[in-house]
A and B are shown apart, each in its own frame.
Chain A
Amino acid sequence: MAKREAVIVGVADVPLKDGKVLTPMSVLQAQALAARDALADAGIPMREVDGLLTAGLWGNPGPGLLPTVTLSEYLGLVPRFVDSTNIGGSAFEAHVAHASMAIEAGRCEVALITYGSLQRSEVSRNLAGRPSVLTMQYETPWGAPTPIGGYAMAAMRHMHEFGTTSEQLAEIAVATRKWAALNPGATMRGPLSIEDVLKSPMISDPLHLLDACLVTDGGGAIVMTTAEHAKALGRKAVHVRGYGESHTHWTTAAMPDLARHIAAEVSGREAFAMAGIGHDAIDVVEIYDSFTITVLMTLEALGFCQRGEGGAFVSGQRTAPGGAFPLNTNGGGLSYAHPGMYGIFLLIEAVRQLRGESGERQIKDAVTALVHGTGGMLSSGATCILSTR
């Protein structure tokens, strides 16, 4: 019997207008609609789903404490493989890894990965810290705006050690906005200059409002199965060539080095080793952009540039449309959408790029994509390398 190979065969996201779902809905409804559309994209009926993976901040405390349990009930599924790994916004890159292992081990045939959030419609987000229990009793009382304060302290340290500047961080926000301008589904599409970013209100030094991701709704789903199954369906398969995951801390003071994204170093190293390819083989890169500094530190951690050289790497709009290094081609969390945990949308955009479905923003002849999610306070990293070959 030939070896089973896991592939991505369907993706979908819930349409947004001004960062909100088009009609009022529940967070379970958003995930069901995304699942329906991703399964339709794959050509697989819902009843064939036997692997269910999700993570979220919804319904918590309450039914969201056991998210796959609640979601399988809602969808009318009885899965034989489940995973509700939650390591922050990178959880979905880890889910693709775990679903790949499960499919290749024969533990499920069709895996469905979902995410949903109505945080914009529900106005549920503020900068307050986590409940000050267990490890957080040593951090929450100090009033760091959350999560931006932790990222700000990382940025401050990176600037101190390497001379990274606010202008260099702003380059990322500006380049990402140029990609959003090419994406009709993006929330923020108007022109943006480096000066605009620097003049936007300082939230937590040295990070400005426009160094930070949006606060939007969002729902997304991914369907995975075997390459053989995808071929029988006549669908274009996106192969999972490599993956890796890690985490180092959640409290800011426990981050081993505030100027270094070690979780991404580990996950990236694992993913590249498994894929057996070098950085030059990557055509398009989707990196979690909760904040501009997240992108810069992740580029260094993944080895696209040396430590401390991230600022120079992104200068001169190198990551913008037409630049040497196409990055965050849907407009990212900074300008497309950021519904709390953004990682699933990085994967959806990478799949669309590899299938040649990205319209005006399409990277010509894109064959291989790197997707990297970061969660918590630069806490977790999960990397996937995807390819059409």
Chain B
Amino acid sequence: MYEKPLPAVDPESAPYWSALKDNRLILKYCRDCGRHHFYPRALCPHCHSDALEWSDARGTGSIYSFTVARRPAGPAFKTDAPYVVAVIDLDEGARMMTNIVTDDIDAVRIGQRVAVQFDAVTDDVTLPKFRLA
């Protein structure tokens, strides 16, 4: 039984979470300014265009910043601590939060290359975690 918080999927986010169930990480791409963004929005946060489409991310990027959670984010994460929470820059230019899956948390550094690793935590939700590439 998975007891950690799960995303409250809504009509806007449903395609994103649905693609993850098929082990695909997808981003919104703006046809007007040519930039990707994360999380998916109705209007491009860079140029406010509505000419957006979904595109497949390569699933690679680098660590922009991170922390090692020595104290858990509530009881559900207690057995995981210590664990790595990071903000990563995907190679498409979008930035997202994730976990870095590693046996050596003390070796994690800003700038390290990472690759997506899909974790089906329930039948309905697959989380896009990352490992050092």
B is bound to A: yes
- B74 surroundings in chain A (CB, below 8 A): 126-129
Does A15 make an interface contact (CB < 8 A)? no
Contact A132 B8, CB 8 Å, known A137-B13, A204-B69: yes
- Contact among A140, A153, A254 with B5 in the assembled complex (CB-CB below 8 Å): A140
Most buried by B among A126, A142, A156: A142
A138 sits at the interface (CB 8 A): yes
* Residue contact B97 to A127, C-beta cutoff 8 Å: no
- Taken residue by residue from 151 to 172, chain A's Cβ proximity to chain B (1 for < 8 Å, 0 otherwise) reads as 0111011001000000000000
Within 8 A of A (CB), among B48-106: 64-77, 80, 83, 85-87, 95-99
Q: Is the CB of B67 within 8 A of A143?
A: no
In the complex, chain A residues whose CB is within 8 Å of the CB of B8: 131-134, 137
Does B47 make an interface contact (CB < 8 A)?
A: no
**Interface bin, chain B:** 35 or more
By a CB distance below 8 angstroms, the chain A residues around B73 are: 127-129, 143-146, 149
State A145–B71 Cα separation when bound (angstroms): 7
B34 within 8 A of A: no
Give the residues from 202 to 216 in chain A that come closer than 8 angstroms, CB to CB, to chain B: 202-207
> For the complex, what is the distance from the CA of A133 to the CA of B39, rounded to whole Å?
13
| Residues of the B chain whose Cβ atoms lie less than 8 Å from the Cβ of A156 | 65-67, 110
In the complex, B4 has a CB within 8 A of chain A: yes
Closest to B87 in A: A253
A153–B84 CA distance with the chains assembled, in angstroms = 11
Alpha-carbon gap, A232 to B77, bound state (A): 59
- For residue A322, CB closer than 8 A to chain B, the reply is no
Query: CB of B10 within 8 A of chain A?
Result: yes
- Residues in chain A near residue B86, CB distance under 8 A: 153
A133 to B6, CA, bound (A): 9
Contact of A127 among B72, B98, B99, B110 (CB under 8 A): B72
**What residues on B are CB-neighbors of A149 within 8 Å?**
67, 69, 73, 85
Interface residues on A, range: 35 or more
> Is A135 positioned at the interface, with any CB of B under 8 Å from its CB?
yes
| Known contacts A201-B70, A204-B71; is-contact A258 B5 (Cβ 8 Å) | no
Q: How far does the alpha carbon of A131 sit from the alpha carbon of B7 in the complex, in Å?
A: 9
Q: Which residues of A contact B118 (CB under 8 A)?
A: none
* Complex contacts, B10 vs chain A, CB 8 Å: 133-134, 137
Chain A residues near B75: list those with CB within 8 A. 128
Is A41 in contact with chain B by the CB < 8 A criterion? no
Q: Say how far B37's CB is from chain A's closest CB, in angstroms.
A: 10
A5 at the interface (CB under 8 A from B): no
Find B85's partner among A138, A144, A154 (CB 8 Å cutoff): A144
The verdict on B9 contacting chain A, using a C-beta distance below 8 Å, is: yes
Distance between Cα atoms of A258 and B8 in the complex (Å):
26
A121 at the binding interface (Cβ < 8 Å): no
Q: With A135-B39, A141-B4, A258-B64 as given contacts, are A252 and B70 in contact (CB-CB < 8 Å)?
A: no
B71 touches A142 (CB 8 A): no
The chain B residue with its CB closest to the CB of A160 is: B110
* A131-B8, A141-B127 given; A157·B64 CB < 8 A: yes
A143 lies within 8 A of B83 (CB): yes
Check A251 for interface membership: any CB of B closer than 8 A.
yes
Q: How far is the CB of B48 from chain A (nearest CB, A)?
A: 16
Partner of A202, one of B5, B65, B70, B95: B70
A165 to B6 CA separation, bound complex (whole angstroms): 35
- Interface residue? A139 (CB, 8 A): yes
The interface centre, meaning the residue of B4, B5, B65, B72 with most chain A CB atoms within 10 A of its CB, is B65
Contacts of B4 in A (CB 8 A): 141, 143
The CA-CA distance from A251 to B71 in the complex, in Å, is 20
Cα–Cα, bound, A283→B64 (Å): 38
**What 8 A-B pairs are tightest by C-beta distance, nearest first?**
A128-B74, A137-B7, A152-B67, A157-B65, A205-B68, A143-B73, A133-B8, A143-B77
B contacts, CB < 8 Å to A? 4-10, 13, 38-39, 64-77, 80, 83, 85-87, 95-99, 110-111, 127
Other A-B pairs, 11, CB within 8 Å; known A129-B73, A143-B85, A157-B64: A127-B73, A129-B74, A133-B8, A137-B10, A138-B96, A143-B72, A143-B83, A144-B97, A254-B95, A258-B64, A258-B87
